[in-house]
Structure 1
Amino acid sequence: MPTEAPDATEATALLARVPYGRLAATLRALPFVAPARHVVLPGALLLRMHAGLGYHRACSGTVVAYGADNLTRASAEQAAGSFWSVQCIGTATIVRPPGEERALFGPAPPSADGERFEPVYLRLVPELTTVHRFGPTSDNSGERHSQHVASTII
């Protein structure tokens, strides 16, 4: 049973804690998951991927899922046994962000899969955001404690 829905600021705050996530979509009816760097903007996520992979073409104009978490990152949250995962579902669009938005990503990696890294950007406007938390709970009910929020703001 889901707990009360989080507000979009919780998902925003969690996503801002990690720089990378995974984009999930389909290509010719086959699912794929691709790594992406993200920044949180008002009302959207801006994703940076390597153009050489070609995944951005399959995603543009389609509904995709993007997820990020702290499940493998050493942090004070994990030391306290607090893990989280955020998933956003919405329509992605290829964009050419202005310089100030591109600068938010910091330097690009020099290469991806042995090729020179060529950045391409997708804007994802979340329509549904899900927050999952794992760790100690104050009750022993065995109830599922995921949180869902329908959101057009991130």
Structure 2
Amino acid sequence: MSTDEIRAIELLRRVSYGRVATSMRAMPFVAPARHIVADDRVLLRLHRGLGYHRACNGSVVAYGADNFDSGSEHLWSVQFTGTAEIVEPTDGELTTFGTEPEFVDGEPFDPVYMRIEPQFVTVHALDYASETPTTLPGGASVRRHLHHVA
């Protein structure tokens, strides 16, 4: 495993949700998903009722997560690109996922699980450093000079 892959896995373990992207009927879409890291692979939990799992299964997808709403001066974003497949999680993986939402868009939540075998991993770090902090909604303060590190 490369240094970027190790770093991305470590960062991904810090947040619970991200977005999966692929195409459905030749149109791109992005859907929210809960994730865990198991055996250095990304395991997603989506709502079956939306049908996104059918477009993802067997296809190349991108899964991204970030800490952009954390209020930290050290922001990061990771993206895993690879083939997704529907899987049955182990009891331990189900426990790691934790509680499920009760409803999604007003209908009862029906989970479906997908594993992504990462083929490409991207990590971006955005560090803010300035004398003038900016207050974000919720009271968090960040500094507004952007330094992009890939």
**TM-score with structure 1 length normalisation?**
0.81
Instruction: Give the corresponding residue for 1:95.
Output: 87
- Given residue 67 of structure 1, which amino acid in structure 2 is its aligned partner? G
Which residue of structure 1 lines up, in the alignment, with residue 108 of structure 2? Answer: 116
Q: Provide the rounded CA distance (Å) in 1 between the counterparts of 2:110 and 2:68.
A: 28
Which ranges of structure 1 fall in alignment gaps of 5 or more residues? 147-154
Question: SS at 2:34's partner residue?
Answer: strand
Distance 1:109 1:143 in 2: 37
RMSD: 1.7
Partner of 1:25: 22
Q: What is the number of residues matched between the two proteins? A: 133
What is the identity percentage for the equivalent residue pairs of Structure 1 and Structure 2? 51
Greater fraction strand: 2
For residues 24-59 of structure 1, what are the alpha-carbon distances to aligned partners after superposition, in whole Å with 9 as ceiling and x for unaligned? 000011000000000001131100000000000000
Secondary structure at the aligned position of 2:58 is classed as coil
- Distance in 2 between residues matched to 1:49 and 1:11, nearest whole Å: 21
Shift of 1:145: 2.1
1:57 counterpart residue number: 54
Runs (5+) with no aligned partner, structure 2: 130-145
Cα shift readout 1:70-98 (whole Å, capped 9, x = no counterpart): 00134xxx0xx110000000000011112
Moved segments of 4+, more than 4 Å: none
TM-score (norm: length of structure 2): 0.83
